[in-house]
């Protein structure tokens, strides 16, 4: 990560534990995280290079969602959500995440990244075959979000999403597999 000179690194399904904080710190990066509470697995994290102003947004519900505002110098602010939506997530939690996305979208440009567990969505159309995915997809379309990562990455499905309602995301690429899991790294540029 440091060698690649990345400004941001978002991770889903981190499985972090408080007792191992020293193992996950990376020099010159701020670490923000939202751990899964009550059972193992899950959680999200965001590493942000020290020269980027980052503020973690409070008052949002997302159980496994981390919301921040990002700015470099006096340039524009971009709002970002790092989201892990487990396959077993309930409709009530989905509705809360949808509300959060709507609230943040009212502030300006938003970037949503993460594993939304929606393998049934055809992002070219875009249509969903499952009701639970359709609710999320319809909400994203209502907020004018576009899916930028269009290359299948996990067993032929697009699970790891890069969604934006603005013009700042470009050069999206799907990279190598991360460890032994089915997910692959997704790289992209953000104009800030």
The DSSP line for 13-56 is S----GGGHHHH--TTEEEEEE---SSSS--EEEEEETTSEEEE
Q: Report the alpha-carbon distance of residue 8 to residue 26 in Å, rounded.
A: 12
pLDDT at 16: 66
pTM for the full model? 0.87
* Residue ranges of the chain with per-residue pLDDT less than 50: none
Position 54 scores a pLDDT of: 93
Q: Which two tokens stand for residue 169?
A: 């995301």
Query: What is the reported pLDDT for 1?
Result: 53
């Amino acid at each position: 990560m440091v060698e690649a000179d990345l400004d941001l690194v978002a991770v889903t399904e981190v499985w972090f534990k408080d007792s191992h904080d020293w193992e996950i710190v990376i020099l010159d990066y701020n670490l923000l995280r939202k751990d899964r509470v009550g059972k193992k697995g899950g959680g999200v994290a965001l590493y942000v290079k020290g020269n980027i102003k980052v503020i973690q947004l409070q008052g949002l519900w997302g159980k496994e969602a981390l919301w921040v505002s990002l700015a470099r110098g006096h340039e524009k602010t971009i709002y970002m959500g790092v989201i892990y939506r487990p396959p077993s997530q309930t409709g009530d939690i989905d509705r809360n995440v949808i509300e959060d996305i709507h609230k943040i979208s009212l502030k300006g440009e938003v970037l949503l990244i993460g594993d939304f567990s929606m393998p049934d969505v055809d992002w070219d159309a875009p249509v969903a075959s499952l009701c639970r995915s359709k609710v999320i997809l319809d909400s994203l379309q209502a907020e004018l979000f576009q899916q930028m990562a269009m290359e299948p990455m996990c067993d032929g499905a697009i699970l790891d999403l890069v969604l934006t309602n603005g013009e700042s995301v470009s050069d999206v690429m799907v990279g190598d597999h991360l460890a032994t899991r089915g997910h692959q790294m997704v790289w992209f540029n953000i104009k800030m």
